Amino acid sequence: MYDVSKTVREFALEVPQATRVFEKLGIDYCCGGGKTLSDACDQAKIPVDEVLRRLSERGAQPAGDANWTQATLSDLIDHIVTRHHGYVKQELPRLEQLLNKVATKHGERHPELNEIKPIFARLSDELTSHMMKEENILFPYIKQLEGSATDSGRVRAPMFGTVRNPIHMMEIEHDSAGDCLAEMRELSSGYQAPEEGCFSYKTLYQALADFELDLHQHIHLENNILFPRAIAIEAGQ
């Protein structure tokens, strides 16, 4: 039924709820979406038949899950900024405070907490700069591109030459964010708090897991939908 030589990105775009299956199984569909499904399964050490079975079991896209492949780029950008950028800006200071609190109390018995702290700090700094560049430079230009295509006009060449250049930089930064997430997940044993962990400890790990899920979805929307469509619009002018 499915062609395992297709990329994970193609499955994420074409199969309803595929991203939910990939998330549950630990298959990278955002930064690593260019791999074939077969290769991605090998890397995740998951039988490809198991993945195909789960994909086949998924029903139609549930109500409330927008099909962003059909939306305008302007609407997609507004969703990314409001839903995902807004979430990141809200969670970063809360997570930093919670991580410092838990590490202070439990860091001696669980030194991995003190290893997670600098990784999270790096991720926080990178995401803050990343979102600023997108909101102030890249996203406005993509909206102009889409508007000029609709009006059969041309947008003035930007200082960065072609939209491919900032997109390439954003994708590199996405890869870096993905590496940070992977490091934190490994150090925390999949965000599993120890049995003796206090309420704050468990809250921290659940919040980090939620943050990881949101960032995966966030990067998927940009890498797999927004950026390729923006490049295609510019190429057609």
Please report the pLDDT score of residue 76 as a whole number.
Answer: 97
CA distance 116 to 215: 17
CA-to-CA separations, 198 to 35, 50, 106, 190, 193, in angstroms, rounded: 40, 36, 9, 17, 9
Q: Confidence band (pLDDT; 50, 70, 90) for 96?
A: very high
The number of CA neighbours under 13 Å toward the Cβ of 64 is 0
CA-to-CA separations, 57 to 8, 9, 35, 158, in angstroms, rounded: 17, 19, 23, 46
Res 50 pLDDT > 50: yes
Closest to 61 in 3D by CA, of 130, 15, 127, 95: 15
Res 60 pLDDT > 60: no
CA-to-CA separations, 88 to 31, 54, 104, 131, in angstroms, rounded: 18, 30, 24, 9
What share of the chain in percent tops pLDDT 70?
92
Bridge partners of 36, per DSSP, are 7
Rounded to the nearest angstrom, the gap between the alpha carbon of residue 231 and the centroid of all alpha carbons in its chain is 19
Highest mean pLDDT among 15-19, 96-100, 146-150, 233-237: 96-100
Identify which has the larger pLDDT, 111 or 66.
111
Average pLDDT, the chain: 91
Contact 188, 68 (CB under 8 A): no
Please report the pLDDT score of residue 204 as a whole number.
Answer: 96
Q: Residue 36 phi/psi, 5° resolution?
A: -70, 155
Contact 122, 144 (CB under 8 A): no
Q: Confidence band (pLDDT; 50, 70, 90) for 236?
A: confident
What share of the chain in percent tops pLDDT 90?
75
Res 63 pLDDT > 80: no
